[in-house]
Structure 1
Amino acid sequence: MSAEYVIADPVVAGVAARAAITTPGVVRLEPGLRGLVTAWTRAARQRWKGLDPAPADGVRVRTTDGRVRVEIDLVTAAADQAAAVGRAVQRAVGRSVTEQTGLVVDEVSVSILDIEPAPR
């Protein structure tokens, strides 16, 4: 008898969000319009089930046929090169999701929605 385990997309999104926000150069995760709708729906579904929603604004996860795709919307600091921060987020998210869930991430897509100016 074998047991099958399913790791829900909101769990993967929470892991990905923590990995992204702790990457140097990331100021915050920014859900954008599509992300706001997704986050609201996910939070409502989790509250309906009596669960506290995982903080995953700005992160969307799609699992299809065992393939995991993560999309992240974020804001970077002006002091850092946006492309380098994006690549670092891709590596951190892929590594964290695999380490913490055992799932192999097929793709991490990072959208940089804004670059926050340095404080004066």
Structure 2
Amino acid sequence: MIETVVSAPAVAAVAVHAAERVPGVRVQPGVAGLAGSLVRTARQQVKGLRPARAEGVRVRWSGGDAVLEVDVVVSGLDQAAAVAAAVQRSVRSVVPELTGVEVESVLVTVVDVAW
């Protein structure tokens, strides 16, 4: 039997893709994710890797399921709560489809509104 392991950065990159499919959304790290993002990027550059963008998404595991935190900037033309709900739906459907990883929850934080 072959076991496939999907890393947290891979899940985060897919979550960025899923979130940014929602019109008026840009994933951007908030204060909590900025330091970790800088460390991860520096480590990958030292190794000569050019990874997919995963900044603005934090992944932790609950059993075998992913718990995702997504920081977004939304358009000032849309209702922030409705956009955040659309991001949750997109991430919850796309991450399992592309990675096989089940999603326990998606917490969306609106870090800014772009006018």
TM-score (norm 1): 0.88
Cα contact 1:38–1:60 (8 A) shared by 2: no
User: Which residue of the partner structure matches residue 19 of structure 1?
Assistant: 18
**Residues 38-117 of structure 1: pairs in structure 2 closer than 5 A:** 38-117=36-115
Cα contact 1:42–1:53 (8 A) shared by 2: no
- After TM superposition, give the deviation of residue 21 of structure 1 in Å: 1.3
User: Which residue of the partner structure matches residue 7 of structure 2?
Assistant: 8
- After TM superposition, give the deviation of residue 96 of structure 1 in Å: 0.7
Specify the SS of the correspondent of 1:6.
coil
**Structure 2 alignment gaps of length 5 or more:** none
**Structure 1 alignment gaps of length 5 or more:** none
**Structure 1 runs, 4 residues or longer, greater than 3 Å off:** none
**In structure 1, how many angstroms separate the alpha carbons of the residues matched to 2:82 and 2:56?**
19
**In structure 1, how many angstroms separate the alpha carbons of the residues matched to 2:2 and 2:93?**
25
Cα contact 1:61–1:69 (8 A) shared by 2: yes
**RMSD of the alignment, in Å?**
1.3
Worse-superposed segment, 46-55 or 75-84: 46-55
Larger Rg, first or second structure (1 or 2): 1
Per-residue deviation, residues 47-94 of structure 1 (Å, max 9, x unmatched): 343321221111111123212011011111111110010000001011
Identity over aligned residues, as a percent? 48
Q: How many residues matched? A: 115
Cα contact 2:62–2:104 (8 A) shared by 1: no
> Which letter maps to 1:12?
V
